[in-house]
Structure 1
């Protein structure tokens, strides 16, 4: 069936086959698994059960002549009276004047449309003069082939090939989860008789899609850990414990747990592929430092890859402080370095003179070679494409990989992409940080914002002002930031210093501005969204986001996180005059909710999984019918089943699961590299 071309079927014309090919339907399997996009329900309802202004089908007998009235050019009204379940109803339909000869007293009509509020008139979208043989009509959306023709084709193909449809779910699973057989599911979804058949088919197809996906992911993780292709790094536990004890602060319980989970992976004989996620300011960087130090004690090197030079510079300064007095050589590598300095660093990595390198995309370059790379950490890993991440991990043999993100991943996506066992979460923030106060305001409220800024600056604190992001034009982006900068310079003249930073600044100028802001030589920093990722100025306690509707939930939450670095009260002002409903809902949500994980779940509901990771990610989960958000209950069932079959060993020992095991193993052979 999988290899049977539609062109080999005698009852399909060459034109039909060509049309189907344009929709990527080439084989019998393609055809049967190309499901309807929706179903039109033509079940005839009794008029007394009809809810006004809802789409419905009713039937009756014509009680008058058909009248025609021209409302305006190209808009003609056809109307008549019909007896529908004992009621005399006036029926109207537009631009169907050609039906007038068919409409006369005593004729049976089937009408699809809406009943008016007064229950006396019916506006029809469709009129038919025959009894309906099938109340449910699938809509296939194949341009060039009518739905009726597609239904006829599917009936013939199903009849010829249904015996070849193989059910991979054993009877035990079908019975336990209330699932129909695969053969029935394919028939019911393509050639349904009623709503019940459609519902049962959808349940079966969604469950199988989510279950097979979960099983493949769980099997990949199982094989990686039980048939390892990695190197167990025997780090010096005493040195690591001494390093932690010398830190000027005590780790939170979440940090300690994350460190232990990561170090266990590093010591294990499989390749680590772990995600460390936590709010901005939760202390992910110190966790990364401890783990890098661990591999260094075993004679390995470590690398941190960050998306911006600002973040690289910040990590570099933080690491110099954390490793003060520790014999570890740390360098920073970026594309802005002079060629001589860059060569010196590359030579140092090659002869193991350097222990830790912190860099941007410059780390991808072919001439960057490590003598003994053991651990790679990608910070804000969603900012890098899959190829970039694989490129840096590929600079050594069986390297452990830790991914860090301050963008919380909703549990629904987490269990469907990584498996919960490979995610470490830091929820609690160190110190006594207060919940930020967030206000959603209009531009008419800017005097309130100005007054707040003056009060905070008078106390010695600082602020960010984020300019609207205009993705279509970096030039407009820069122009807008410059205009805001000039306005703030005038408005706060003689009161405080204003700075400007944007993506077009030269690295040296950008570093100078950030250093001046860090030293409180600049009190208000006007910026594009460059501060969204990683910037750490403890004294900055207020962020003002202009035209906040231009940013997503995750971006706004990260910007707010920039001012939660100290125990001082943090403030966030979301300024927008947008009257777009979705934008208003988004801004209200951010103003009301401060928990990043709750926001992530809501963000997923608003945007859907396909858009959650952004354009730089590849391999977003795509199903024919299942939806990770709308079908999260089914996902939970499927995930629990996949866990049980692998953990209990049933997948490997029960002959009933042989087909499932073959599917999972074939996927492992072809896609095991995806875990890197």
Structure 2
């Protein structure tokens, strides 16, 4: 099967081997194996379901993923079998638990305040935190090779008899220990630098297993700084699948591994079982304690995969129950604001619009009107690609609320975006007699106080602002609608605080960052989802191209020609070391060079994150008016900046940006009726960077970009899982575990259909889990 997948990959993923038929045959053969093995193999190939309907990029990604999984399951070493012996590792032995899982980690034997502090830097505060401090990868050290067969520069496990030690001190502060290790096939030389403690554990004549990187030279075979287990101790680093943990500062892998070898089997049995017993039984999953031990310290790769899926399912199930509870809670909270004459409000709003709405906008207008007739508040997520007309939808929702006597608030993540929304909404709604105001952190205390007063007295209908909207002192007379733009930049806390400024107001959250389906199901299941999938009339497609630094002068000439024709240009500088001060310095220097040496005949503006809000707005206003021909900017223009006359963008060092961010930046051009171009300049130094730059040049649809980004980066904390108010996914992989997402979703719905309040005794642990989570959120909000 692996060979068929390799051939399909080499053939360009064109499905000429009729993969669906091959998979069906593979499934039938898997059914003849023992139940556990057959199920594991069938699950491994499941991501290839519907292969003919997948995009080329998705086919490629899934072929690699399934191929890796099958290779790993077929051979414990995750590679082709090689001559040698395979060690069989036992589970680590459990000790006697003397603490509970909430106890401070420093009270474990041998830890104390100093080491406890270092563990705290890893987020490990309690004994229970150690159980979920999972390895970031595992190394297979079970296959013991004959010394004669070890490969140059490979990491190998060998076993043999130690010869005599030789100690050398070539200079002060450097001690070299060397000893030969021999088996029936040959000898290699073990070398340690400044590790005299080796002599405490090893003696000439001992049988010992070592693991390390092999070097074959003209003088023989050598292994430098090999890892080994003392002959009298347990097998932690050799002869088994060994965990590799995330570390910090002064903690070593060997120390943390030893601690986890003792703690995990001893304290895992104290971990509460959140999954209902009948669910575990139905899905054939192991108990949480067994899964934790097997996941940290695998006895085999198939057993490890079973443990991984069980823990991943638990994470996804808890997420889905949380989402379903939130949705249930929102729908049970009665509507506080009632609307009338909704059908009569659409036409007056359409008369205010500068152009006819797209079919997609009309559809979303209808969805919003329908939401406002329900017995519970609106909770809608609006996804729309860059430039798809989300602001008009927000304006419509605000118009409807205001015409029914309520106030509306729109919160944006940056002052530039808030200012732009304010101008657009004022221009659109002021002719209808709607009073639009703004509230931003950079405003003077006096200006803020005046706005507070207007809001309290209902002398403002719509306020547009940043985080300043959720500060103390902001009170509304009758807040009926909350709109949150670029919602992934805000956590659930900020949304909650803004909603608390009114009595259960309707909520519309908007994003230009498209959310792949698995993430939408997982993270935003409590929200109804609308999608703007048409561009407003007159918008020209953006031609994108990936170029090398060698073409820099040619690109500058293209910008010059575009500006001479009366258009304007953006040049975006990279983010340097996540350091805003350095980034600003780089942008200032770049603006100086481009303004004086490259484009001396044009007016060149500069925009960066260290500028004050009023300075940023002045620069943007000058650019909007056409007084600056070229704008040098850092990524502060990523979101929402709208200058229709800007038709060409150069993104320098594009290899430093993520795919989603490149797409957001590209959205700053193509906003008028002129043809636009975006040039991504960078050196693709890795296959991942090559794929990213090729993808951004090829793809224009935001949802395709999002799917590709998810495949390239992997889910990790894509789209801010923690930002959305959910716990981090430590085990589940939203690409690999699509089947588990669906399974968890249906299991969560089934559970809540039977016990919506989680009141049954068997759901006590589950209820406690969510009560604790709620308390944490409430504590953060207040």
Aligned pair count reads 660
CA distance in 2, matches of 1:512, 1:339: 21
What's the offset of the Cα at 1:513? Answer: 4.3
Q: Distance in 1 between matches of 2:479 and 2:464?
A: 13
C-alpha distance 38-438 of structure 1, shift in aligned 2 (>3 A)? closer
- Structure 2 residue 454 is the aligned partner of structure 1 residue 355: no
Q: How much does 1:121 deviate?
A: 4.8
What per-residue deviation string (whole Å, max 9, x for no partner) do you get for residues 341-367 of structure 1? 655544432332322222334434544
The corresponding residue for 2:14 is: none
**1: CA distance between counterparts of 2:606 and 2:376?**
47
Normalised to the residue count of structure 2, the TM-score between the two structures is 0.71
| Equivalent-residue separation in structure 2 for 1:27 and 1:198 (angstroms) | 25
Q: Is the 8 A contact 2:647 2:677 kept in 1?
A: yes
Of 478-487 and 439-448, the range deviating more from structure 2 = 478-487
Q: Partner residue of 1:425?
A: 531
Q: Equivalences for 1:230-309 in 2 at 5 Å?
A: 230-246=335-351, 247-309=353-415
Aligned to 2:594: 487
Please point out which of 240, 248, 254 is paired with 1:136: 240
SS in 2 for 1:199: helix
Q: 1:368 to 1:18 in 2, by over 3 A?
A: closer
In structure 2, do the counterparts of structure 1 residues 147 and 334 end up closer, same or farther at CA, with 3 Å as the change threshold?
closer
2:155 to 55, 64, 72: 55
Contact 1:7 1:17 in 2 (8 A): no
Partner residue in 1 for 2:579: 472
Correspondence for 1:634 among 722, 733, 740: 740
Pair 1:238–1:324, CA change in 2 (3 A): farther
| TM superposition shift of 1:452 | 1.3
Q: 182, 187, 196: which is aligned to 1:82?
A: 182
The residue matched to 1:317 in structure 2 has which SS?
helix
Give 1:431 deviation, angstroms: 2.3
On the 8 A contact 2:147/2:158 being kept in 1, the answer is no
Cα–Cα, structure 1 residues 294 and 45, in superposed 2: closer, same or farther, change >3 Å?
same
C-alpha change, 1:483 and 1:192, in structure 2 (3 Å) is: closer
Q: 1:229 to 1:609 in 2, by over 3 A?
A: farther
Matched, 1:43 2:142: yes
Q: Secondary structure at the match of 1:438?
A: strand
How far 1:40 moved relative to its partner? Answer: 5.8
Q: Answer whether contact 1:243 1:290 (CA < 8 A) is retained.
A: no
Instruction: Return the TM-score normalized by structure 1.
Output: 0.81
Greater alpha carbon shift after TM alignment, 214-223 vs 508-517: 508-517
Q: 1:129 to 1:149 in 2, by over 3 A?
A: closer
Deviates more, 1:230-239 or 1:511-520: 511-520
Alignment-derived partner of residue 524 in structure 1:
630
Q: Distance in 1 between matches of 2:257 and 2:773?
A: 39
Relative to 1, partners in 2 of residues 1:45 and 1:395: Cα closer, same or farther, differing over 3 Å?
A: same
- Quick check: 1:170–1:656 contact (8 Å CA) kept in 2? no
Q: Which runs of 5+ in 1 are unaligned?
A: none
SS at match of 1:323: helix
**CA distance 1:216–1:335, shift in 2 (3 Å):** closer
Moved more, 567-576 or 382-391: 382-391
Tell me if 1:94 matches 2:200. no
Q: Distance in 1 between matches of 2:99 and 2:419?
A: 59
**Cα deviation, residue 322, structure 1:** 3.0
Q: Is the 8 A contact 1:610 1:621 kept in 2?
A: no
Which residue does the alignment assign to 1:574? 680
Q: State the Cα deviation string for residues 133-169 of structure 1 (Å, max 9, x = none).
A: 76437657887967557645665x46xx94x665443
Shift, 1:289, TM fit: 0.7
Does the CA contact (< 8 Å) of 2:241 and 2:300 recur in 1?
A: no
For residues 476 and 671 of structure 1, the distance between their equivalents in structure 2, rounded to whole angstroms, comes to 36
Report the CA distance between 1:18 and its aligned residue: 6.1
Which stretch of the first structure deviates more once superposed, 383-392 or 171-180? Answer: 383-392
Counterparts in 2 of 1:19-418, with a 5 A limit? 22=117, 23=119, 41-45=140-144, 47=146, 52=151, 54-60=154-160, 74=174, 76=176, 78=178, 80=180, 82-84=182-184, 88-95=185-192, 102-103=203-204, 108-113=207-212, 121=221, 123=223, 125-126=226-227, 135-136=239-240, 147=257, 151=261, 157=266, 162=269, 167-189=273-295, 193-225=299-331, 227-246=332-351, 247-323=353-429, 325-334=431-440, 345-384=451-490, 388-418=494-524
Is 2:606–2:632's contact at 8 Å kept on the other side of the alignment?
Answer: yes
Superposition pairs for residues 462-611 of structure 1, below 5 Å? Answer: 462-470=568-576, 471-474=578-581, 477=584, 480-481=587-588, 484=591, 487-488=594-595, 491-494=598-601, 496-502=602-608, 510-576=616-682, 586-604=692-710
The 1:489/1:243 distance shift into structure 2, 3 A limit, reads: farther
Superposed CA RMSD:
4.6
**CA–CA distance in 1 between the matches of 2:164 and 2:98?**
54
Whether the aligned pair in 2 keeps the contact of 1:110 and 1:129 (CA below 8 Å) is no
- Structure possessing the higher relative contact order (Cα contacts under 8 Å, 6 or more residues apart): 1
1:563-584 deviation per Cα after TM superposition (whole angstroms, max 9, x unaligned):
1213432211223468577666
Cα separation, partners in 2 of 1:672 and 1:58, compared to 1, 3 Å:
closer
Alignment CA distance shift 1:30-1:575 (3 Å): closer
- 2:547 aligns to what? 441
Question: Separation in 2 of the partners of 1:101 and 1:338?
Answer: 72
Give 1:374 deviation, angstroms: 0.7
Residue 80 of structure 2 corresponds to which residue in structure 1? Answer: none
Of 655, 658, 663, which aligns to 2:763?
658
